[in-house]
Amino acid sequence: MNRPTTFLAHRIATQFSKAAEIYDKVAFVQQEIGRRLLSRLTYMRLKPQYILDIGAGTGTLTQALKAQFPSSTVVGLDLAFGMARTLQQKNISSVCADMHRLPFACSTFDLIVSNCTLQWSTDPKQFFSACQHALKPNGILLLTTFGPDTLKELRMAFQQASNKPHVHDFMDMHDLGDCCLKLGFLDPVLDREDITVFYQKLTTLLRDLKKLGASNQHPERARGLMGKQTWQRMLDSYSTLCQTSDKFPVTYEVLYCHALKKPAHPDQSHIEITTCRL
């Protein structure tokens, strides 16, 4: 087992391990994004022999990849032991390891997929470097992550109520593209879309985030319990910002990225991709 090397990685792994049993009940946004990610593969003429799903969680996307590519060997990788154990229980080939230190030989996979995982990276450059190492020449990296407008309503409401950050930081799309290029991927293609979910109660949103294991990891976040006055100021601010009293909108900015590892020889790049705007 490739254990996390930092306290933050250990904290994230612990939270998601605890969430494994109930994750599927509240991860409807991540599951929808996974379906949209998978649909993009239908426009790529791929016959991958080996596929890696990084941040596989409970294996929803991993199983879908196995169904779409029945002749491929699909491996699910997750940092959280509880998630990796769930994969094993579903008879999915699984590895419990850090996405920054993939425990595979060079040029192992034809396709690496990662859905809603990169936002938890402690070092995105190291993540892309690890993917470069594990991909075969001409191999494809296809991923989603959350952009800075994710949970923007909650972020603004807390800013009105407290001087401490209460929402996790997310990577900008341009930084994501730059990171791909600097690590040697060819012509990364990026786009974004917003998904808005409406909650009847704000407490339900916060409860779902907690059940997901997706708590605030900002280094300057407040420690300890939130005071009642701060909580009430946040609720009042959220209602004012959203201009509604019966539902609370929650925005998820979804970033999509696919990139190609350089071929062994420049004239060997032959993968055909049809661009489609979802």
Q: Does the predicted TM-score (pTM) go above 0.75?
A: yes
How far, in Å, CA of 30 to CA of 115, rounded?
A: 8
Residue 243 confidence (pLDDT): 61
Which structural domain, as residue segments, surrounds residue 99? 7-148+170-194+253-268
Residue 165 confidence (pLDDT): 57
191, amino acid identity: D
Q: Is residue 216 part of a domain?
A: no
In sequence order, what are the residues at sequence separation of 6 or more whose Cβ sits closer than 8 angstroms to the Cβ of residue 207?
Answer: none
How many domains are contained in the chain? 1
Which of the four pLDDT bands, split at 50, 70 and 90, describes residue 245?
low
Pairing state of beta strands 248-261 and 93-96?
unpaired
Q: Is residue 236 part of a domain?
A: no
Which of the four pLDDT bands, split at 50, 70 and 90, describes residue 213?
low
Q: Is residue 90 part of a domain?
A: yes
Q: Is residue 261 part of a domain?
A: yes
Q: Is residue 129 part of a domain?
A: yes
| Average pLDDT across the chain, whole number | 83
The per-residue pLDDT for range 136-171, each reduced to its tens digit, is 999 999 999 999 999 888 888 877 766 565 577 888
How far, in Å, CA of 268 to CA of 275, rounded?
A: 21
Q: Is residue 214 part of a domain?
A: no
Q: Is residue 218 part of a domain?
A: no
Q: Is residue 222 part of a domain?
A: no
The CATH number covering residue 71 comes to 3.40.50.150
Q: Which of 5-9, 54-58, 105-109, 127-131 has the lowest mean pLDDT?
A: 5-9
